[in-house]
Amino acid sequence: MRTRRVVTAILIGTLVTGGCARPGPPAGSVAPTGAPVAVAVTPRAGFGPTDIAWVELMIPMTEQALRLAGLAGDRAADPAMRRLAGRIGDGQKAELVHLRRLLLMSGMPYTDPHQGHDMPGMATPGEFKVIERASGDVFGRLYTRTMRENLAQAAHVARGEQASGTHPEARALAGAVERSRTAQLAELERLTGR
């Protein structure tokens, strides 16, 4: 057993080092036998971990805000609330396009790292189903509460990206998102008399 291990080690050593006795481009790291090694996708230059985390969070968060706004555009009793839902939808649709473009630029695959998790500012799938089935005053209450939490959390997280992110375009978008969500939240509060 030991002998076989040593022989294997020698053979690997030969394969790895044989014929490489010349300086120049760095030798590629040869992964020898052993445990499978997870291959990590690394974001392209300029994108830091905060930038990636922010984009990956904002995509599902914005998608949920758009679904909520879509429901309210049809269902809200107050015409002013329906118009606000339309404005939220238009503004966030453009931001979502920008977020997806940033993700593409980063070279990271699209995965939602938060799927199935109970996230601040987002309704769980079960909670969202309840909102979808609601109507009248019940819908109005659930909608304003959920949208309020979504807008406030998105503005909060955007401040973190502006403070800790490294990619200039992502940080600029975070600034725009913070302003737009803060303004949308203020309008929502005005309409609900808070």
Partner 1 sequence: MPRALPPPRTKPRLFTLFAALVALLGTALVVAPAASADTLLSQGRPVTASSAESAATPASAAVDGNTGTRWSSTFSDPQWLRVDLGAASAISQVVLRWEGAYATDFQIQTSNDGGTWTTINTTTGATGGVQTLNVSGNGRYVRLYTTRRATQWGASLWEFQVYGPGGTASPSPTIPPGAVRVAEFLADCPFSHRLPDDPIIFPGLAGASHMHSFFGNTTTNANSTVQSLLAGRSNCNPSTDLSSYWTPTLYNGTTPVEPSIVTFYYLGEGVRDDVRERIQPLPLGLRIIAGNAKATGVNDPTSTARWSCLHAGQVPPSKDFVTCPAGTQMESYLDFPQCWNGRDLDSADHKSHMAFPVNGDCPSTHPVPVPKLRQVLRYPVNGNPAAFRLASGPGYTMHGDFFNAWPEAEMLRRVVDCIRPKIKCGADGRP
Burial of 166-187, coded b for 16+ CB within 10 Å and e otherwise, reads: ebeebbebbeebbebbeebbeb
Which CB, 9 or 172, lies closer to partner 1?
Answer: 9
Report yes or no: 96 and 61 within 8 Å, Cβ to Cβ.
no
Report yes or no: 89 and 73 within 8 Å, Cβ to Cβ.
yes
Q: Does 137 bind partner 1 (CB under 8 A)?
A: no
The C-alpha atoms of residue 184 and residue 102 are separated, in whole angstroms, by 23
Question: How many residues at the interface with partner 1, by CB under 8 A?
Answer: 57
The C-alpha atoms of residue 113 and residue 15 are separated, in whole angstroms, by 39
Q: Does 45 bind partner 1 (CB under 8 A)?
A: no
The C-alpha atoms of residue 54 and residue 56 are separated, in whole angstroms, by 5
Which CB, 118 or 137, lies closer to partner 1?
Answer: 118
Inter-axis angle of helices 168-191 and 79-106, nearest 10? 170
> 30: which 2 tokens?
């040869």
Which CB, 164 or 182, lies closer to partner 1?
Answer: 164
- Which of 57, 81, 88, 147 is close enough to bind partner 1 by CB under 8 A? 57
Element (H or E) spanning 194, and its range? Answer: none
Choose among 147, 142, 160, 136: nearest CA to 186.
Answer: 147
> 133: which 2 tokens?
């089935």
Closest approach, Cβ 59 to partner 1, in A, equals 12
Q: Does 9 bind partner 1 (CB under 8 A)?
A: yes
Q: Does 172 bind partner 1 (CB under 8 A)?
A: no
Residues 67-126 within binding reach of partner 1 (CB under 8 A): 113-121
Q: Does 32 bind partner 1 (CB under 8 A)?
A: yes
Could you tell me which stretch among 19-27, 96-104, 132-140, 141-149 binds partner 1 (CB under 8 A)?
Answer: 19-27
Could you tell me which stretch among 46-54, 63-71, 143-151, 178-186 binds partner 1 (CB under 8 A)?
Answer: 46-54
- Which of 81, 103, 142, 165 is close enough to bind partner 1 by CB under 8 A? 165
Q: Which residue ranges make up the site for partner 1 (CB under 8 A)?
A: 2-3, 6-7, 9-14, 16-18, 20-23, 26-35, 37-43, 48-50, 53-54, 57, 113-121, 153, 156-157, 160-161, 163-165
